Structure 1
């Protein structure tokens, strides 16, 4: 039997996956000991079962240890195999050492998860120089893509959209969304000077007069890129953009700052947040087959 083990905060998605796949739901009892160490206990027996640990990995430093302990508990309890379902996969940005002595976090985090699980399913990991998850994971790892879901949302909710990508690297991804949404697209030029310092140049948009700008990115973290792009679009007279992303992390007050500039801000529910407006649950259920 498939058993969906919900890490705290992931109960809704785990229950949905259990219902859609004919599996069972398993909660996790967890607490802190007085010395700060973590206690976990599975909410049901899993002997002989396939256990799917459902855990989005936003804010990974406070979630990963509990996840690893839960995976170990499932294996100790006789699970046939343990697979990680991580709608958002952390630590993919640092994929090379830019200075002497830096940890290549993507590779180290992948090794850690590969040791704890027999498989991985995630959504749109933030890959740059790593072309596929198989380059860093030692287990079957499947990356699902939410572009069709974003395109379908645009088709239903935005009249005369103009899709806008934040940088040259986003061109292929934004073009795919635009093609499915039957909409034109443009790409901004971005130069990142530091984590919170980004310079953006707008392309010529006069030929797209009368269209609703839709800024699209895979991740909104600090929000710097989208905030600056939204501000520039308004200054250029293009109007308030719809801001759309797969993963909404929204560090500090970035959501409030972006919302003040945008017509609306919408993300998938890969990371629970008030901006969630696109469900990835069915895509995840379909993506589990064959892992």
Structure 2
């Protein structure tokens, strides 16, 4: 029997792309909310003895994670053979240490919650910095789908004479991989963050930028302060308006408009988070990862 694929609210379009590639049956997922704010999921058709795949867009996660948790638990209660999660963007990965007295490592707690109700997880480029593998957090089967090949393909197709620019030291290894795939040079800026929305970066070498189109690449664009600071520095160095590429387009508040106003020539993202900037589709490699998970569960 084919797997049953269901989309949580906000993930319907991406789930449709996956269904087309996987040949799964489309399930209906009604997430009813009572007047007091409590959630009651309803899954159709019957999930007993079926492999169930839940697809979730987990930007702005706090009001979505409880619904996701209950949907997975109800699928198990109703006899699902296995329950898998496709979360193209996986939240709560940046709090991977206690950064101030009284804080905790929330990445561990969310991992424990999701691992308790899912058999496997597929995601795209989670923020693995202090943790170096998903297995350090998630005891369930996981597969990380890299966005670098798709981003490299897009750059090669749409940008003339690119030079990749990593906005901070954390991005160096990742940006280097994309640059190697494109076959172009790269440089990395040095970042100093003095608050959630206060960031400064170093000036890039003018010789690296000469005659090239700078392409800023980062995994997560949230407040966009790092991208904005890098864009301003690139323009101050006399370079062309940069192309700004992010894997996960979170764009809090006015961040997208602020980045455009700072002088970005083009803003592009992967479709891991629904946003007007989505131009790089990730459904093909994610579908391949899901197929491997289903085969392993068979």
Q: Does 1:166 align with 2:167?
A: yes
Residue 122 of structure 2 aligns to a residue in which SS?
strand
User: How far apart, CA to CA, are the structure 2 residues paired with 1:265 and 1:160?
Assistant: 17
Residue 282 of structure 1: aligned partner: 284
Aligned residues of 2:6 and 2:28 also touching (Cα < 8 A): yes
Unaligned segments of structure 1, at least 5 residues: none
Aligned residues of 1:151 and 1:181 also touching (Cα < 8 A): yes
Q: CA deviation at 1:254?
A: 0.4
Residue 141 of structure 1: aligned partner: 142
Aligned residues of 1:4 and 1:15 also touching (Cα < 8 A): no
Aligned residues of 2:209 and 2:239 also touching (Cα < 8 A): no
Residue 2 of structure 1: aligned partner: 3
Residue 120 of structure 1: aligned partner: 121
Q: CA deviation at 1:205?
A: 2.2
Q: CA deviation at 1:207?
A: 4.2
Q: 1:167-206 counterparts in 2 under 5 A?
A: 167-206=168-207
1:123-151 deviation per Cα after TM superposition (whole angstroms, max 9, x unaligned): 00011110001001111111111001000
Q: CA RMSD in A?
A: 1.1
1:57-103 deviation per Cα after TM superposition (whole angstroms, max 9, x unaligned): 11110100111111112112211010111000000011111233212
1:243-289 deviation per Cα after TM superposition (whole angstroms, max 9, x unaligned): 00100000000001112211110000000000000000001001113
Unaligned segments of structure 2, at least 5 residues: 294-298
Q: 1:55-66 counterparts in 2 under 5 A?
A: 55-66=56-67
1:22-72 deviation per Cα after TM superposition (whole angstroms, max 9, x unaligned): 211112112321111112211321121111110021111010011111111
Residue 41 of structure 2: aligned partner: 40
TM-score for both structures, normalised by structure 1:
0.97
Q: CA deviation at 1:15?
A: 2.1
User: How far apart, CA to CA, are the structure 2 residues paired with 1:27 and 1:253?
Assistant: 34
User: How far apart, CA to CA, are the structure 1 residues paired with 2:212 and 2:5?
Assistant: 43
1:164-223 deviation per Cα after TM superposition (whole angstroms, max 9, x unaligned): 001112111111101111111111011112111112002312243111010000010010
User: How far apart, CA to CA, are the structure 2 residues paired with 1:234 and 1:92?
Assistant: 32
Q: Does 1:16 align with 2:17?
A: yes
Q: Does 1:26 align with 2:27?
A: yes
Which stretches of structure 1, 4 residues or more, deviate above 6 A after TM superposition? none
Q: Which moved more, 1:237-246 or 1:32-41?
A: 32-41
Aligned length: 291
Residue 233 of structure 2 aligns to a residue in which SS?
helix
User: How far apart, CA to CA, are the structure 1 residues paired with 2:99 and 2:183?
Assistant: 39
User: How far apart, CA to CA, are the structure 2 residues paired with 1:116 and 1:88?
Assistant: 18
Residue 244 of structure 1 aligns to a residue in which SS?
strand
